[in-house]
A and B are shown apart, each in its own frame.
Chain A
Amino acid sequence: MSLVNPTSRSKASSKPSARHAETARTYAHPLPIIFPEPTYTFLGLSLTRPLNPHCTALLDPITRSAWVANSGDATILWQRGFFGKGDLSRSEPSWLARQINARKMKGKGLTSEEITAKRRAERKQFKLDRAKAMAAAAAEAEVAFKEEGRVIAPGIAPDGTRIIPSAATWKPTSISVPSEESPPDTPDELQEEIEPIQDLEHLQLSLQEAFFLVWALDCLTVLHPETNEPLTLAEIWNAFQNAHTSSLAPQLALPPPRFDNPFLVSYIAYHHYRSLGWVVKSGVKFCVDYLLYKRGPVFQHAEFAIVVIPVYEDPQDQANSPFKLQNAEPFTWSWLSTINRVNSQVQKTLVLSYITIPAESRVPSKVLSSPACFAHYSVREVVLRRFIPARMRD
C-alpha cells in the first residue's frame, strides 16, 4: 500500500455531520439522571441537586417484565441510556409513527423498520435479477456449445464485459409502488384521518433493566399490576426472584433462598457491564445473552457479544438445584464454534462471562434477603477469537 496516498476517512465519521450532531444532541445524556453544571459550590462540593425524572412502570408477571405506558417516561428512558424496547418495534417505540405513515402513504421520515424493509426488498430483487442473468448466461453457453461446438465463458459477453450483476454495480429499477400512484384524496380518506389511532404500544423493560433503574439509579417506581400501589424495594426484590414461577399475579413473599436464582445470575452480569459504562441490550438475535454497545445502538453496532456462564462453587448445589440454568453444563465444541462463527461474521467479539455462584455451605443464606448478597459473586471474562495459523501471519 502506497504511503503517499492519504488515509481514507474512518467509518465513524462517514455519517453526514448534520445528522450526527442531531443524534449527539438527542442522546446526549448517558443516564436518566442529569447532573447539571454546578452553579453554587461550597468547599468544592456542588449544591445543585441532580435532576431525577421519577418514571413509573407496571410489573407484569405473565411476560416477566415491567411496562412503561407513559410515552414521556418511555422517551426519557430510551433517550437517556437506551433502556427498554418498544414491544411492537425494533428498538424505540415507533409503532404509532409507522401506522400514521402507512395511513398518509408518504415516504417522508421512514422509521428504522421501514428502511430495513426497503433494503431487504431491494436485496431480494437484486438476487432475483442475478439468478435470472446466471440462468440466461448458462443457457447461452449451452446453445453455443451444442450448435457451434465452441466453449464460451458464461457470464462474459463477447467484448469482455461481465453481464451478471454484482452487488456493487446493480441499481434498483423503478418498480411502480402502488402508493405513489394513489388517486387524490377521496372523502372516505379524509374521514379516516380525522379518527386518531390509539397507541397500542408500550416500552417494555426486562427485569434486569427495571431493577437497575430502581436500585442502582433510584429513578423508577414499579407499581403492582392489580392495585397500582408502588412496590417497596423488598417486595420488588422478592417478586423479581419469584418471576420464574408461572403465575398470573406477582408473588411478593420471600422466595426459598437460592444463590442460583436465574434473575440474580443474569442481573449480576447486567449490573457489572452497565456500571462500567456499557449499554447492555439483549443478544438473542446473535445466539448470545447480551450485546455491549459503547455509546448506544444508534451510534455504532455492538462490539462485544456476551455469553453468561454460571459456575457453581459447590457441585452439590448444582445437583440439588430446582433451576436448570442455561450454559451451566460444559459447552460442546460444535456449539461454541457455531456461536463464535455467527458473531465473527457480524464483526462482534465473543466474550465468555463466568459468574461464580457462592456455595450454600460457605455463605449463610440470610444474605439473600437483600442485594448485599451481590458482594459474594464474582465475574470473570474470557475473550474468544478464532486462530488460523496459516492465514494469520500477514
Chain B
Amino acid sequence: MYASGKYSSRGPALIPRMKTKHRIYYITLFSVVLFGLIATGMFQFWPHSIESTADWTVDKRSVHDAPLMRLQVSSPIPERGDLSCRMHTCFDVYRCGYNPKNRIKVYIYPLQRFVDELGVPISSTGLSREYNDLLSAISDSDFYTDDVNRACLFVPSTDVLNQNSLRIRETAQALAMLPRWNKGMNHLLFNMLPGGPPDYNTALDVPRDRALLAGGGFSTWTYRQGYDVSIPVYSPLSADVELPERQPGPRRYFILSSQTAIHREYRAELERLKEENGEALLLLDKCSNLSHGAASARKRCYKGQVYDYPQILQESSFCVVLRGARLGQAALSDVLQAGCVPVILADSYILPFSEVLDWKRASVVIPEEKLSEMYTILKSIPHRQVEEMQRQARWFWEAYFSSMKAIGLTTLQIINDRIYPYAAQTYEQWNNPTVVKWSSVNSPLFLPLIPPRAPGFTAVVLTYDRVDSLFRVITEISKVPSLAKLLVVWNNQNKSPPEESLWPKVGVPLKVVRTKENKLSNRFFPYDEIETEAVLAIDDDIIMLTSDELQFGYEVWREFPDRLVGYPGRLHLWDHEMGKWKYESEWTNEVSMVLTGAAFYHKYFNYLYTYKMPGDIKNWVDAHMNCEDIAMNFLVANITGKAPIKVTPRKKFKCPECTAIDGLSLDQTHMVERSECINKFASVFGTMPLKVVEHRADPVLYKDDFPEKLKSFPNIGSL
C-alpha cells in the first residue's frame, strides 16, 4: 500500500511522458489488478449475506458439507440409561463449579454426519429444522460457551428428536464416539418422540449411558425425577399459525376434541358423551375427502363439515388432549396456544416442565378411566377458575411452548436451577403471568408476627438547627415508655451540634449522627445505630404528641409491622378535569397516606428507601427538599399492597403557638408541588400503589364512658 501511495503522488508527472502504447498497457494492467482486487473482496464478503437470505441450494450444501464420520460395526455401544441416576450420582458437578453468575455453561458439539460402514446414514432425516433451531437458540444464549474445557453441559449435535427416524444401535455408537462422552456424564439429549411400534416406550430407546434426557412423553416409570427433564412435544403449527390472544370467558363449545389419532375405544366413548350432551361437545376427526399432506394437517371435519385447525380450538372452553400411542402429544401445544384449557387424559404421564410449572392452574388432569365422567367433572369447575386457567394456559404457551428456543432455554434453566438451587427461579417467577405480576404483591415481611413490646422503638429525629425545638421534642419523646433509643440526625454541615452537656438528660441512649449533605433522604437511611425493628421518624418541631399517643402508635405498629403507622392522614384524588392526581390535605373521610413528620415503620423500609427506591425518586426528593413522606408511602404501599394506618384523631402537627415558624408546609405552592410529586411517583412506579381506607385506629376504650384512670391510653390528644 505504501508503494502505491508513493507512486500515485508522483504519477501526474510520470504518465504524460510515457509512450501512448505503454500508457494504455499500464492502464489496462492497473484496471485488471483493481478489478481483481474488488472482485476478490466481493467474493470474500458476499457469501455470508447469501446464507442469511436462506438460499435453498446453499443451505443444503452447508448441512451436507458437515464432516462425514464412518462408524465401525465394532465401535462401542453405551449402556442403556441407568434408572437410578440422579444429579448427585451421575452428574459431574465439578465441571460447573462455583461462579458468581450462577449460570451453567453449555457446549455444543460441531456438526457431523455419521454413516455406517456401508455409507448408510444413521438417521433418515439428518439434522431437522427444529433441532437446528434449538441448537441455534442455545448458541445465542448466555448459556453457550465455545470452550469445551469450560463447559458444564454438553449437547450433541446429533438429532434424536424423533426416534422413528433413527437407527438405534448406530446412533448410540455415534454418541459414544463424541470426544467428551465419558459415559454420557453431563450430556443432554433432546427427544420429543420416543419409542416405536409396537409397544412405544416412553423414553428414548437409544442406549445413552448416564446422559440426561430432555424427553417429551415420559411416564412416571421412565422419568428419573430430579434428573431428566420432561419437555413438551413441539407443534410445528406454533410457528406457522398465528392465533391472536382471546379474552378469557365462555366459548361457543364447552368441550372440543380435535385429535385425529384417537384409539377407537376412546372415540366411541367420546361419541357417547356427545350423544348425552349434544351441542356442548364438538368432536372432530380428520377429513376423509382431503388428501394427505400439509393442507390436511390444518383441517378437521365433523359429519362433512370442515373446520380450520387450530383456529377452531379458540371456540372452546376445554380441549381434550388424549394419549395416543405416545403419552406426549403435540396437540397440547396447539391447545395452549389457543387459550383453551387442556383436559389431559394420559395416565402416568409426566407433564411438560412439571418440575417447575404448576399445571393445576392451567389444566385439568383426568384419569383415562374417567373419560366418561369428563363432562360432569368439567362442569363442576367454577367459571372464574376456568377464566384464570384459560389465561394461564395461553401464558404457559407463550413462555414455555411457543418455539424450540423457548423449550430449549427452559430446559437449560431447569437444569441450571438444580445446580445452583439457592439461585433458582421462584414459583412466582415460573408461574405468574405478567398480569398477575403487576397486580399482585409479595410482601417482604409476609409472616404474621406481632413483635414483642420489649425491644421498643428507636426515635429518629431529623434536625437542621432548631436546637430549642429539638430539645423540647427529645424531652417529650423520652417520656414514652417503649422508647429504646434516640437518634438525632444532624443535617447541618455548617454548624456543629451542641455540646453534650447542653443536651437534655434522658433515660435512654442518645446518639447524634452528622450527615455529609443536607438531604431529606438522610432521615430514612438505615443507620447501624438503629437496633430495633421499629423506627419512629419524627421532625424536630413535633412537640404536641402526647406520650400516650406515641405509645399507642407503637402498640398499633406492633400489630401491623409491615405498614406505616402515622398520625395526620392525607389522601390522593383523581382530578377529572386536569386528568391527573391531586394531593388532598383537607379533613376527609378517607386516608391513603400518613405524614412521616411522626410515623412508626419497620427498619426494613429504611433499607428499601435507600437502596431499592425505583427510578430517580430519591434524587428528585433531595433536589426538591419535599415529598420524602409521599415517596415512603408509595414505596410501602407498592411492596405490601396495604394501606397505612392512621392512629388517633390527630389531624395536624401545628400547635397554636408555632404557627408561622414551619418552614416547609402551608402555602399553596407547597400543595401544588406535592400534587406534582404524586403524579411523578405514580409514573415512575408505573401504577398508583396507594390504597384508600376509611378507618383509623383508636384505643379500645376511646371516648367510652369509663373511668379515665383505668384506660391504658387516657390522654390520646386532640386534633
A binds B: no
B interface residues, Cβ below 8 angstroms from A: none
